[in-house]
Amino acid sequence: MPVNPSTMDAIVIDNVSKAYGSTKAVQTVSLSVKPGELFGLIGPDGAGKTTLFKILVTLLRPDEGRATVVGRDVVKDFRALRSLVGYMPGRFSLYPDLTVEENLSFFATVFGTSIQANYDLIREIYVQLEPFKDRRAGALSGGMKQKLALCCALIHKPEVLFLDEPTTGVDAVSRKEFWEMLQRLKERQLTMLVSTPYMDEANRCDRIALMQTGQILAIDTPSGVEHLFRKPLYAVKAAETFRLIQDLRKAPFTQTCYAFGEYLHLTTEEGTTPADIDRYLRERRHEHVTIKPIQAGIEDSFMALMQHG
Ligand SMILES: Nc1ncnc2c1ncn2[C@@H]1O[C@H](COP(=O)(O)OP(=O)(O)OP(=O)(O)O)[C@@H](O)[C@H]1O
């Protein structure tokens, strides 16, 4: 008998919707995540990421649609599911008055296990926390809190790990270290769904879904999402950035013009050449003009999809 591939997926979301009054937080979302996949949910604040996570970890019931995690229905099988998933919520769920070790023991006890029983899975992360094991969690740095929260979410050896904006508000070095930790967990075949508002983190995932106002705009590999952007794209810089953006937005050849770091990203009508752009800017007395064709990144694709969404 042929096997339905969707029954083998670690997470299946099928037309799930959830509203809070008139706010449609999640609108007919469908996606699936394969076992062992590191899947990213990328979107700005209010996109509906947290609501979707809460549905998947059985803390909220969907209004419509159905979802399964490791084959268990998130509504009907919620009890069984709770011990199979690990959840690191956006605002860390640590007890600030308990020490590092007490927090970890608490989460282990809730799941009927002990730190020793599953130490192997958290060893690499926990060794960095061990020198501070008697410190109150509330007195830890952001990066250390994040590591402890990850240990707490892993201590019962879940089959799927849900990480809701784990790197928000954490310094750049800790963010990088955190993604390296996720990479090592992936080598152990753990399935992970991670949300982030940072586009640069999308490249760390096997596949990503771009989400906005409760809807999925695209699902693909990071490079697949970049290739969704098909128009020629230019990075433009000049001495006066503010006047540059004003002038470029008025230009007859401009389709879109956004600030991306120190450059503006510009898409133009077909047939426009860099020489046309240069001439237009020189006529308006712009100085130190640089115009270079560039490859679109995930952020460019996201902007283009949002415009047409
Ligand atoms: N308990 C609630 N009651 C009413 N509206 C809510 C509630 N929780 C979320 N919302 C609204 O639902 C929408 C989706 O919110 P959600 O928190 O799921 O998004 P998000 O992508 O996780 O963003 P954030 O990073 O800001 O949490 C937003 O418009 C939000 O204001």
pLDDT, position 131 = 93
| Residue 87 burial by Cβ neighbours in a 10 Å radius (0-12, 13-18, 19+) | buried
Average pLDDT over residues 189-204: 92
Chain segment 90-131, per-residue pLDDT in tens: 876 899 999 999 999 999 999 999 998 888 889 988 998 999
Helix (H, G, I), strand (E, B) or coil at 308: helix
Decide which of 28 and 118 is more confident. 28
ipTM rounded to 2 decimals: 0.93
Average pLDDT over residues 136-153: 92
Residue 43 pLDDT greater than 50, yes or no: yes
Architecture category of domain 233-308 in CATH: 2-Layer Sandwich (3.30)
For residues 102 and 109, the answer to whether their CB atoms sit within 8 Å is: no
Taking the centre of ligand 1 as the mean of its atom positions, its distance from the CA of residue 201, in whole angstroms, is 21
If you ran DSSP here, which 8-state letter would residue 137 be given?
A: G
Decide which of 216 and 8 is more confident. 216
Write out residues with Cβ below 6 Å of ligand 1. Answer: 20, 23, 25, 43, 45-51, 165
Ligand 1 site-directed mutation target among 24, 50, 87, most atoms within 8 Å of CB: 50
Which of 158, 150, 157 is CA-nearest to residue 103?
150
Global pTM value: 0.88
Average pLDDT over residues 161-171: 90
Chain segment 249-306, per-residue pLDDT in tens: 999 999 989 998 889 999 999 899 999 999 999 999 999 999 999 988 888 888 888 8
Taking the centre of ligand 1 as the mean of its atom positions, its distance from the CA of residue 46, in whole angstroms, is 5
| Residue 123 burial by Cβ neighbours in a 10 Å radius (0-12, 13-18, 19+) | exposed
Residues of the chain with CATH 3.30.70.100: 233-308
Average pLDDT over residues 239-247: 95
Taking the centre of ligand 1 as the mean of its atom positions, its distance from the CA of residue 26, in whole angstroms, is 9
Taking the centre of ligand 1 as the mean of its atom positions, its distance from the CA of residue 25, in whole angstroms, is 6
Average model confidence (pLDDT) across the chain: 91
Chain segment 1-22, per-residue pLDDT in tens: 444 544 589 999 999 999 999 9
CATH 3.30.450.20 for domain 5-221, yes or no, is no
Ligand 1 site-directed mutation target among 26, 41, 51, 213, most atoms within 8 Å of CB: 51
Residue 234 vs residues 200, 218, 292, 308: alpha-carbon distances, Å: 19, 23, 5, 20
Taking the centre of ligand 1 as the mean of its atom positions, its distance from the CA of residue 166, in whole angstroms, is 17
pLDDT, position 309 = 54
Band of pLDDT at residue 168, cut at 50, 70 and 90: confident
Residues of the chain with CATH 3.40.50.300: 5-221
